[in-house]
A and B are shown apart, each in its own frame.
Chain A
Amino acid sequence: MMVLDLLLAIQREHDACIGFRFSCRVAMCGTCTLRLDGRSVLACQTPVPQDRDTVRLDPVAGLPVLRDLVVDTAPFWREWAKVTPYLVPHDGLTEPAVVTPDSDERRLIDASLDCIGCAACYSSCAVAAGSRDFVGPAALNRAMVLVADSRDAAAEQRLAVADGAGGVDRCHYVYGCSAVCPKGLDPAAAIRYLRKSRLKS
């Protein structure tokens, strides 16, 4: 039984209006994020611990609670938006780029795609969730994916954000983000990459 199944059972049998979100229940939408005994997880992917009678569920940290486990994710996306999170294609990009799968570029990027925007990393980052002046691990991971992409023409503006007040220097390398990512991504490595790119430029 997953934590999501537990919440659905509570909704059906005990408290019909308990507030929690979910959509896909297969780790693709990233909307059921919560904290189980303090750890940021996807409710749909996390078994209910069988070794005790009670568990503690809290909403994602660092985001305003609307009700029970339901949060407003707008602050997370505001930070995300700061890194120009969309591809800014080079003028000449009119056909799908020819890039071999074993290229350095793709090795780097492919391992960092599949972010579902669940905010588990944001929630587990004391800096992002605490003081709110850090764009946070998810946004910087997205920035890295685009900075490393040879199809993209906006690396400079993203590196400027990474170099700015809310950028990579706010990271204290606690690695909470990489420890909790339900997709196995490594945002801390992305932050290291951006730091190195800045030094080079």
Chain B
Amino acid sequence: MARATDDVTAVDTDVAVVGSGGAGLMCVLHAMTADPGLDVTILSKGAVGRSGCTRMVQGGFNAVLDPADSLELHLRDTLEGGKYLNDQELAHTLVTDAPRVVNELETRVGCFFDRAPDGRIHQKAFAGQQFDRTVHRGDLTGIEIMGRLRDQMFRLGPRELEDVRALDLVRDADGELAGVTALDIRTGRALLARARVVVVATGGAATMYRIAAPAREKTGDGVAMCWRAGIPLRDMEMLQFHPTGLLAGESRLTGAVLEEGLRGAGAYLTNAAGERYMARYDAARMERSTRDVVSRAGYTEIMAGRGTPNGAVLIDISRLGAAEVERRFPGMVERTRQVGQDLARGPVEVSPTAHFHMGGVVIDRDCRTELPGLLVAGEDAGGTHGANRLGGNGVAESTVYGARAGDIAAAIAADRPLRTPDAEQVATSVAAAYAPLTRETGEAPFPVTGELKDAMWVGCGVVRDRAGLEECLQVVDELADRASRVAVAGPREVNFAWQEALDLRNQLTVARNVVESALLRTESRGAHYRADFPDQDDVAWSRYIVLRDGADPVVRDVEHTRVSPEVSA
């Protein structure tokens, strides 16, 4: 049942920014600073500046500020962490721009990061890095960054479409990008934003796992939207599990991250027998090994029956003394006390938790995609982190690439005309969104979402193999079929069951790509571990996988444009 496009409210804008986390708001800031006359529109599924994951950043922001540190070292750490699967130009851009962005956050945006006793910015130790380069504000850095960025919006005054979810990229009759369809969650009405430039910055999709860290909104909307528009994706198998997620039974708190800095500060990880098991996985780096290694170690301990009865391993930093732990990690201490444990005074039960998607849309260093006028920034994009992201490189990516997207969006918007979206595409997009609400009968979306999370956790999680992945793929396809028939009751205004149905569709789209890509990579590298191919195979697999709707997968050689790895096989 296609609705007439007459029912769709139209907004014309120069730049439409989808998402209002770190990447989205940095993009707005830069676009409107580059050209104050620019008409910029934010489409945000949740509250502007208060949804998504930049908000939730605990540890901090990696940037080279100390003369004893170097960009070369930060790049090398990033590539070592990423197991040389990274697009090295993207990684190089990240480390090169990061110091400038920290400076901008401090001197223009208004952030104030923690200082060392001499009054200069303090940088702390994070795992997988040879230099203490993580800038932070206590252990809740995201509040400072997003709070200040959100406040910049009051200065700049972009058009804020809050509680408005983007649906699909739409093109004109010539196939050129013309804008984006959307749904106003408050009114239930469809919207069409015609735009000279569309910037996609919605974040990843790790919520598709049973134990997961991100905010509710993170359902892969941007990646799914780009997929449906025929844009290529890369490294989709690379989904990071953070090693220390909180376990809180059935509570939604389960999966919330206990920050990386704990391990940097000397926390021990032990199994139920009290053994510091990291000695058997990475004796040199122990708890300060990279996230992929530490997650796999914890998962292996738990699966081998060496975890606690709740299926957890233990993190213990209490040897620093309760007062010191409370001083340095107040947010983390409070978080554990809420679930009846106490990080300051003893071990806390943790499990690996799905955290961050390294894979995403193929972009260049200016966030351009293969579709002119479409830019992608932040977690929706792939390539910067390769096979594993370092703690502290996430918010760096969001803000560095958000800023670049804003600069380039302003430049493109100056020349690119508004185009007329193909009416049929708009109608199809809107009809698909309304379908769950207009169906008379059908199951609710919630059980389907629950089954997807279970299937992904079991079949495409920390440790994978062919049989499990093939079964998972089959389940995902069955769930996609069920999801195409879900029905939700109630009004169209402020109906979150309806929104869940639309989230589910995107989660399934991303999930299918993750599983398919995981099946193709017959080796283990970074976050992707195949029990049936446990070794890294640099001869066959110094390559990345590109997926595109309606086309066969393509495998391309990684170009080591900056640093060559030492071949290990």
Contacts and interface: CB of A to CB of B under 8 A. Distances in A.
A8 B279 CA distance: 41
Interface in A53-78: 66-68, 70, 72-73, 77
For A18, A103, A114, A115, which residue has the most chain B Cβ atoms within 10 angstroms? A114
A70 B490 contact: no
Contacts of A201: none
B392 interface: no
A160 interface: no
Interface stretch (B150-158, B231-239, B455-463, B555-563): B150-158
A66 B494 contact: yes
Given A11-B446, A17-B490, A99-B119, A23 B47 contact: yes
Interface in B131-152: 137-138, 140, 142-144, 147-148, 150-152
Contacts, number: 164
Interface stretch (A28-36, A129-137, A168-176): A28-36
Contact of B107 (A45, A93, A103): A93
Given A17-B489, A19-B494, A45-B338, A87 B250 contact: no
- Counting contact residues on chain A (CB < 8 A from B), the size range is 35 or more
Contacts of B489: 16-17
A80 B154 contact: yes
A2 interface: yes
B107 A29 contact: no
Interface residues of B, number: 62
Contacts of A20: 496
B107 A89 contact: yes
A101 B114 contact: yes
A1 to B, nearest CB: 6
Nearest to A17: B490
A90 B495 CA distance: 46
A81 B118 CA distance: 34
A199 interface: no
A81 B109 contact: no
B495 A89 contact: no
Given A26-B335, A98-B119, A100-B115, A86 B110 contact: yes
Contacts of B47: 21, 23, 29, 31, 73
Contacts of B488: 16-17
Interface in A1-56: 1-2, 4-5, 8, 11-12, 16-31, 44-45
Contacts of A5: 250-252
Given A24-B215, A25-B253, A45-B338, A17 B143 contact: no
Given A98-B119, A151-B107, 12 more contacts: A2-B251, A5-B250, A16-B446, A17-B498, A19-B496, A24-B55, A24-B56, A24-B216, A29-B47, A101-B115, A114-B143, A117-B150
Ranked nearest first, the 10 interchain pairs of A and B with the lowest CB-CB distance are A87-B110, A17-B490, A16-B497, A67-B494, A98-B119, A96-B106, A86-B151, A100-B119, A81-B154, A85-B151
6 contacts: A89-B110, A94-B107, A96-B113, A114-B138, A117-B147, A151-B110
Interface of B: 46-47, 50-53, 55-56, 102-103, 106-110, 112-121, 137-138, 140, 142-144, 147-148, 150-152, 154-155, 186, 215-217, 250-253, 256, 334-335, 338, 444, 446, 488-491, 493-498
